[in-house]
Amino acid sequence: MNIIPYTDKHHKFREKTRAFIEKEIIPHVDQWEKNKIVPKSAWQKMGREGLLCTTIPKKYGGPGYDLLYAVIVAEELARSNHYGLHAVLHSDVAAPYIYTYGSEYLRNKYLPGCCSGDIVSAIAMTEPNAGSDLASIETMATEDGDEIVLNGSKIFISNGINCGVAVVAAKNPSDKSPYESTSLYVVESDLPGFIRGKKLEKMGFHSQDTVELFFSNCRIPKTNILGKKGMGFKMLMEKLQFERLLCSVQTIATAEFSLAQLLKHQKTTSVSGQPVPRTQSSQFALVEMATEIKLGKTMLETLIVDHMAGKNILKETSMAKYWNSELARRVAEGCIELHGMEGALESFPVVRAYRDVRILSIAGGTTEIMKGIIAKEMGI
């Protein structure tokens, strides 16, 4: 059953993407995980291969593909069992803010570098006292002549060390509500007052450079605002739907990877010269995982088609985001359990998958936030 209308071009692009990942990413993952960072050279290789910012038009250095190419890259990267090279955040979250809401000047200045991998982008929303509640951010943006002065701090910023630019959410001094006084700015990381804090140690995403960011009288031109002043919250909400769909793509791909690893183990491993016992309980567990993955993927693919058609699927996207991220966690845990004692060893790839996928039920909006959105959409 084909729900997503992939063409021959899409299939060829997937083959190209998978071949690149097998050659240029997977052999280096273990070392990157030990180093706790992905080198910028890997980003540049992605760019040269045309795997970054796939939806950005050729006019600004991108290939100008449809959204399905972004889905393919997200899926194949997740299947590599590695979330350190957070290209999805760069290509399909941060850079599109610049393309959609930026002036021609900002597009021409930053997007070619984003597409080539010479510029890595980040998005700085979360603060120590404002996680999923973006209305509570405290970073201030004060006008001073032709400049904006930023003061405040951000936390849990992915791509924070490698980034050359960050899309920063900040409040403007105003008596308006937080929803009407938040703006987004493009901030270059080498500006005075742009300060990188410590790299954060996480249970997963070990090679993903997540840091604290501080802004201390950081001055940027007024021209670096995205969209209109005070429209930041609305812009963030508009972009979250596709971000959460891609998060769901990644979690389903990780669930598929985890189950495939267990099946491979059971088919190739023997105990005392005999195949791994296939008890009814283990068979049923595998069947249940495979069924849930199929159901989650079917819903996800339907939503991707609906999103491309411009439909409002806020409720359903929230359902998929929470369900698939929790599903991937259950599947990874179940695969480790069925693997036996060897399942606790670092040599079993699902161990990394289990650590990494746990973060995806938090990033982009926690499961609890998703359920709150769904309840509101249901009128309950």
Active site residues: 243
Q: For tokens 């240029």, name the residue.
A: 24
Q: In one letter, which amino acid is 122? A: A
List residues bridging with 214 in a β-sheet: 153, 195
120-124 and 194-199: which strand pairing?
unpaired
CB neighbourhood size of 68 (10 A): 21
**Which tokens in the block code for residue 36?**
């706790």
Q: In one letter, which amino acid is 121? A: S
H or E segment and range at residue 320? helix 314-339
At 348, is the secondary structure helix, strand, or coil? Answer: coil
72 contacts 20 by C-beta, under 8 angstroms: no
44/348 Cα distance (integer angstroms): 30
255/79 Cα distance (integer angstroms): 9
Task: Please list, in sequence order, all residues whose beta carbon lies within 8 angstroms of the beta carbon of residue 293, skipping any fewer than 6 positions away.
Answer: 252, 255, 256, 259, 327, 331
**Which tokens in the block code for residue 14?**
């997937």
Sign of CA dihedral 231, 182, 99, 54: negative
Burial 313-350 (b: 16+ CB within 10 A, else e): bbebbbbbbbbbbbbbbebbbbbbebbeeebeeeebbb
